[in-house]
Structure 1
Amino acid sequence: MALFHVQGVPVGYVAVMLALIASMGGFIFGYDTGQISDILLMDDFLLRFAQCETPGDVSTCQFSTVREGLIVALLSIGTLVGALCGAPTADFLGRRLAMQIECLIFSVGVIIQITSTTSWAQLAVGRLISGLGVGALSAAVPMYQAETAPPQIRGAMTATYQLFITLGILVAYCISIGTRHIPGAGSWRTVIGIGFIWPAVLAVGIQFMPESPRWLAAHGHIAKAERAIAVTRGLSASAAANDYIIKREVEEIRQSVEYEKTVRSGWIDCFRPNHKILYRTLLGMSLQSLQQLTGANYFFYYGATIFQSVGIADSFVTQIILGGVNFGCTFGGLYVMERFGRRGPLILGGIWQSAWLFVFASAGTAQNPSQHEGIGDLMIVSACLFILGFATTWAPGIWILIGETFPTATRAKQGALATASNWLWNFLLAFFTPFITRDIGFRYGYIFASCNLLGAVVVYLFLYESSGISLEMVDQMYNDPTCKPWTSSTWAPAGYENRKDLQAQIRAAEMNKPLTAKDVEDTRVETHSNGSGTYHGEETEAEKRI
């Protein structure tokens, strides 16, 4: 039975559970990202792994720039390798089994970390191995969600991955503030050890979810693919057999798979210019790189240290405030990405984020924030407003696009390349940030502000609007020579006047009734009034039914 309807199309409870369970991969990512910022300041952790002038006196202990950078950043090297390995693994084993194996790899890394005693290198290697699992999951989960979600809620479902990243960061902050006064190694080992829970939930829960229908179809299981689609729609097998929407989606997938059998799908094929494959590979890599260059992880990795330097008495509390803003605003991101598409929010988000980073950097540069309480407060407010913009636009939006921009044949590999770009910049920023901030201080914010403006320009000039249409239609759109990125929001396949016409026809077909003459006229009026849209010079399906 359908749980609810979107645009007249049924959505089952399995689709919702699928989004939540698969997004535990994002929770693992967020938890591992959030925990290290506070752990670096815990007394026992400093005594064991930092360099102390007087043994046993924590006030004389501090990390060298290189050691701190490696402890934080080696996770990102693991995730980079994991993202690249995750693509062939997901293609060979299937999306679900691949995720289960990746959860096991992450858990091995946790074991290595919590058994560390005085060797910071062992701890860093544990983070490296955990990173392999996190990176592979970051490639597999958004792809699985995009391939399995009904198109009408694909944006919100894929955005739950980012929502769970923010939840993981917030939970890590809260657990850290609760364990920091535990005597001995329990303060930091508890935070890391709790990390066993999250991969267990994902590994067990994903077993009860359907496999990706596109992966099933690509491996010759068309009937199973149809059942997987029916389950996410909340329909029985008998009802699905006569359902127009499901039959059309299955046929689209079947035709796409048949076509892609004639298309090479190796790594090198991700860089071939035909069918805009190279274009989309470079676009995905650029967007993932620019997501890192927004500067968000500057706050998430080093937030406690940053706010300690601006004179905040308890930087742990400030981290929780930032984490709460990040998590709460991501709910808004789910709505924004479904309601307003992908391009507009990303462009406006880049401009908004840039503005507040300019404020942050200017305030910290103009006066010493540790000596001027008002400056410190302004920097915290500007950081929160930056996070608000990031959480509602660039944070969920980029992960959505990675799942829906590429064709099926090379989707896993292109998604892996894009995600690996994210992790490469993640590593570079995590490792070099201590060196950079030591030399230029809060002026670092100017660099991130400029990168946010660059991101807005890249989205305007190169990204196509992919909301509200199937993955197969997205591929058609990128290959339509008459469609440009700035006109793509109204594009629709041949037989439809524009995207609203397409969605209206789908809704009418699902409700088993034709569009009225008024529906068609309303669509025409809107199309001609804004001067855009795709006109195919032929009678549409809606007109034929009237």
Structure 2
Amino acid sequence: MGGFIFGYDTGQISNILLMPDFLLRFGACSSDATLSSASGDCSFTNVRAGLIVGLLSIGTLAGALMGAPIADWAGRRYAMVIECAVCILGFIIQISSTHVWQQFAVGRLVTGLGVGALSAAVPMYQAETAPAQIRGSLTATYQLFITFGIFIAYLISFGTRGFDGPSSWQTVVGIGIAWPVILSTGIMLMPESPRWLVFHDKPEKALHSIARVHGMTLTEARDHPLPNKALAEIQRSVEFERSYTGATGWMDCFRPSNKVLYRTILGMTLQAIQQLTGANYFFYYGSTIFESVGIQDSDVTEIILGTVNFVCTFGGIYIMEHYGRRLPLIIGGVWQGAWLIVFAAAGTAKNPDTDKGIGSLMIASACMFILGYAMTWAPGIWILIGETFPTRTRAKQASLSTASNWIWNFLLAFFTPFIVKAIDFRYGFVFAACNLAGAVIVYFFLYESSDLSLESVDLMYNDPTCKPWTSSRWAPPGYASRNDLAEQDRTKANLAMADEKKGTGSGTTSHDEGHLKVEA
């Protein structure tokens, strides 16, 4: 639901700006403009439209930085409740606007504070709570629901465009209140992050949290090797970080030791490149391209792009879980760069407004680009933000990385119209270069973190014998490979389940041996 709020708020504004009542109330209109003539007699200046759209990104930037101290102080769940309340306040400010466009823009800013904080807290909570075996798939659902939220916003806007008066846009904004209500209510039924609980000296509650994630009661978890192993690993990691670093603060994110600075810069760079892939260029300005082959309805255009983005993200969840993080990002960067070169070259060679074949090629290349993006860079970066950083500074590093995403989101949204006016479709070559650079950066700097616990990821980054391009073969001490790690965990789980079926109870030799293995 956190991703859905993100997507819904992003996807609604492009259609709202075109609604006649919204234009009449907040645009620059001629003296005789009416509701029926608003589309022709009213318009937004670049500055006014840029502020209405872009202030959300400014709010999310500030919210992402605020998300870390809130999540560390209140816990991951209560932080989400606070942030959902901020989102609701922002929606109310927007709905109550009548004729002052600045009020609507401020409402977008306030909503952005909540959305930005959630964009840091939600993937972090998912990564800290999920078992390593499904962490990639679970965290990827954040991106899946971003695309779903965008898609639903398009459909609702399409359905309300025939409404008379302010209900056309107030309905779209007002429905947005439902999503933070669902999240803030539902998250209180979920367990708190076990890593946050251990860090705040609550090991019993942490064990209960781990037990719930594995479908056990607390009593069952006390005698089961897997929850106890997970708890012991978290405790060792937290104790090591405490003894090594002392008090923590924002500056700790920039210390070179233990590759903390390395990972901060890496996270911020990957989030920046996710924006620089050019995906938002197609989502914001795709209607102009589609008009070249006779599709004049911008709502239909956005629904087509939104459908491709949403459906293909399901493939991204599968790919990220079965093929790791590095390989999909490298292939995705090359794939996206190649199709952007096709797109830019076609648009530069001939005018798509007059050449339908070129227009069709550009649409096909745009859809192929979105297919690759939705399967690789879209979900992959959010997964990495949740699992790359050490526990002690994870919230702050996730906030800094997410803030980088929102900075570039704002810069691209605000300056793209000016850049397109200057270089037209050659803009695609710029994005192609960024995609290829992203593939190179992933190869030389990103470590493969799939199938490892968050504590093992930290060990891997600090192993001097492990390099990014060899990291997929790295395994924690005591294991021959990552397959061996998974197989041993499955074996322990099966033995424990067999003991329970036999009714041997907590005092059996098998369980005691399991505890001894964990301690060893």
- With structure 1 as the length reference, what TM-score do the two structures score? 0.88
| 1:102 to partner: Cα distance | 0.4
CA distance in 2, matches of 1:164, 1:490: 32
Please name the residue that 1:71 is paired with: 52
For 1:45, the aligned partner's letter is F
CA distance in 1, matches of 2:248, 2:399: 13
Please name the residue that 1:216 is paired with: 197
Contact 2:94 2:104 in 1 (8 A): yes
Please name the residue that 1:280 is paired with: 263
Instruction: Map 1:308-387 to 2 at 5 A.
Output: 308=291, 311-387=294-370
Contact 1:33 1:301 in 2 (8 A): no
Task: Quickly say closer, same or farther: Cα 1:258–1:318, change in 2 above 3 A.
Answer: same
Please name the residue that 2:233 is paired with: 252
Residue 449 of structure 1, aligned match among 409, 432, 453: 432
Please name the residue that 2:453 is paired with: 470
Please name the residue that 2:25 is paired with: 48
SS at match of 1:495: coil
Contact 2:19 2:168 in 1 (8 A): yes
| 1:322 to partner: Cα distance | 0.7
Greater mean deviation of Cα atoms: 89-98 or 502-511: 502-511
Please name the residue that 1:202 is paired with: 183
SS at match of 1:175: helix
Q: How much is the aligned-residue C-alpha RMSD, in angstroms?
A: 1.7
| 1:383 to partner: Cα distance | 1.3
Residue 494 of structure 2, aligned match among 511, 515, 537: 511
| 1:53 to partner: Cα distance | 4.1
Please name the residue that 1:149 is paired with: 130
SS at match of 1:512: helix
For 2:21, the aligned partner's letter is D
Please name the residue that 2:165 is paired with: 184
| 1:309 to partner: Cα distance | 6.8
Task: Quickly say closer, same or farther: Cα 1:279–1:218, change in 2 above 3 A.
Answer: same
Task: Quickly say closer, same or farther: Cα 1:111–1:308, change in 2 above 3 A.
Answer: farther
CA distance in 2, matches of 1:432, 1:195: 27
| 1:391 to partner: Cα distance | 0.7
CA distance in 1, matches of 2:487, 2:423: 55
CA distance in 1, matches of 2:190, 2:400: 26
CA distance in 1, matches of 2:31, 2:371: 43
SS at match of 1:509: helix
SS at match of 1:325: helix
Please name the residue that 1:432 is paired with: 415
| 1:310 to partner: Cα distance | 6.6
CA distance in 2, matches of 1:96, 1:327: 27
SS at match of 2:296: coil
Contact 1:311 1:376 in 2 (8 A): no
For 1:364, the aligned partner's letter is G
Residue 221 of structure 2, aligned match among 224, 233, 240: 240
Task: Quickly say closer, same or farther: Cα 1:46–1:440, change in 2 above 3 A.
Answer: farther
Task: Quickly say closer, same or farther: Cα 1:425–1:55, change in 2 above 3 A.
Answer: farther
Deviations 1:176-201 (A, max 9, x none): 11111111222111111110010000
Contact 1:69 1:434 in 2 (8 A): no
Contact 2:340 2:365 in 1 (8 A): yes
| 1:494 to partner: Cα distance | 1.6
2:132 corresponds to 1:132: no
Residue 410 of structure 1, aligned match among 393, 412, 422: 393
Deviations 1:30-81 (A, max 9, x none): 0011111222222222222222345413313222222222111110000000
CA distance in 1, matches of 2:220, 2:231: 14
2:140 corresponds to 1:159: yes
2:376 corresponds to 1:393: yes
Deviations 1:401-438 (A, max 9, x none): 00000000000000000000000001101111121112
2:174 corresponds to 1:193: yes
CA distance in 2, matches of 1:92, 1:251: 23
Please name the residue that 2:481 is paired with: 498
Residue 280 of structure 2, aligned match among 288, 297, 315: 297
Greater mean deviation of Cα atoms: 347-356 or 306-315: 306-315
CA distance in 2, matches of 1:225, 1:321: 45
Contact 1:83 1:420 in 2 (8 A): yes
How many residues are paired up?
A: 493
CA distance in 2, matches of 1:358, 1:83: 33
For 2:392, the aligned partner's letter is A
Contact 1:87 1:413 in 2 (8 A): yes
CA distance in 2, matches of 1:73, 1:384: 25
Task: Quickly say closer, same or farther: Cα 1:180–1:308, change in 2 above 3 A.
Answer: farther
Contact 1:292 1:422 in 2 (8 A): yes
Task: Quickly say closer, same or farther: Cα 1:59–1:311, change in 2 above 3 A.
Answer: farther
For 2:89, the aligned partner's letter is V
Contact 2:292 2:359 in 1 (8 A): no
Contact 2:289 2:363 in 1 (8 A): no
For 2:236, the aligned partner's letter is Q
Contact 2:226 2:493 in 1 (8 A): yes
CA distance in 2, matches of 1:508, 1:196: 46
Of all paired residues, the percent bearing the same amino acid is 66
Please name the residue that 2:211 is paired with: 230
Please name the residue that 2:252 is paired with: 269
CA distance in 2, matches of 1:265, 1:331: 38
CA distance in 1, matches of 2:173, 2:361: 33
Greater mean deviation of Cα atoms: 358-367 or 71-80: 358-367
- With structure 2 as the length reference, what TM-score do the two structures score? 0.92
CA distance in 2, matches of 1:305, 1:50: 21
For 1:98, the aligned partner's letter is A
| 1:366 to partner: Cα distance | 2.3
Deviations 1:146-193 (A, max 9, x none): 000011100001001001100000000111111111112221111111
CA distance in 2, matches of 1:184, 1:437: 34
CA distance in 2, matches of 1:442, 1:173: 25
Deviations 1:213-258 (A, max 9, x none): 0001111110110110111111122221121111111000111121
